[in-house]
Chain A
Amino acid sequence: GQQLNQSPQSMFIQEGEDVSMNCTSSSIFNTWLWYKQDPGEGPVLLIALYKAGELTSNGRLTAQFGITRKDSFLNISASIPSDVGIYFCAGQHGGATNKLIFGTGTLLAVQP
Chain B
Amino acid sequence: NAGVTQTPKFRVLKTGQSMTLLCAQDMNHEYMYWYRQDPGMGLRLIHYSVGEGTTAKGEVPDGYNVSRLKKQNFLLGLESAAPSQTSVYFCASSSREFGSYNEQFFGPGTRLTVL
The interface size of chain A toward B, counting residues with CB under 8 Å, comes to 28
**Stretch of B66-74, B78-86, B100-108 on the interface side:** B100-108
Q: Are B31 and A97 in contact (CB under 8 A)?
A: yes
Instruction: Given A45-B103, A48-B101, A98-B31, check contact A103 B42 (CB 8 Å).
Output: yes
Q: Are B108 and A104 in contact (CB under 8 A)?
A: no
Q: Are A102 and B31 in contact (CB under 8 A)?
A: no
> Please, what's the 1-or-0 string for A48-64, where 1 marks a CB less than 8 Å from any CB in chain B?
10100000000000000
Specify which chain A residues have a CB less than 8 angstroms from the CB of B41 in the assembled complex: 3, 104
Q: Are A97 and B48 in contact (CB under 8 A)?
A: yes
Chain A contact residues, CB within 8 Å of chain B: 1-4, 6, 9, 30-31, 33, 40-45, 48, 50, 88, 92, 96-100, 102-105
* B45 touches A (CB below 8 Å): yes
Q: Are B48 and A44 in contact (CB under 8 A)?
A: no
Q: Are B44 and A102 in contact (CB under 8 A)?
A: yes
Contact of A96 among B43, B50, B100 (CB under 8 A): B50
Specify which chain A residues have a CB less than 8 angstroms from the CB of B107 in the assembled complex: 42
B109: nearest chain-A partner, CB-CB? A42
Q: Are B42 and A1 in contact (CB under 8 A)?
A: no
A30: nearest chain-B partner, CB-CB? B101
Specify which chain A residues have a CB less than 8 angstroms from the CB of B11 in the assembled complex: none
CA–CA, A104 and B48, complex, Å:
20
Specify which chain B residues have a CB less than 8 angstroms from the CB of A6 in the assembled complex: 42
Most buried by B among A1, A43, A48: A43
CA–CA, A43 and B91, complex, Å:
10
Specify which chain B residues have a CB less than 8 angstroms from the CB of A97 in the assembled complex: 31, 48, 50, 56
Interface CB pairs A-B, < 8 A, 19: A40-B108, A41-B108, A42-B4, A42-B109, A48-B101, A48-B103, A92-B101, A96-B50, A97-B31, A97-B50, A98-B31, A98-B94, A100-B45, A100-B104, A102-B43, A102-B44, A103-B42, A104-B40, A104-B41
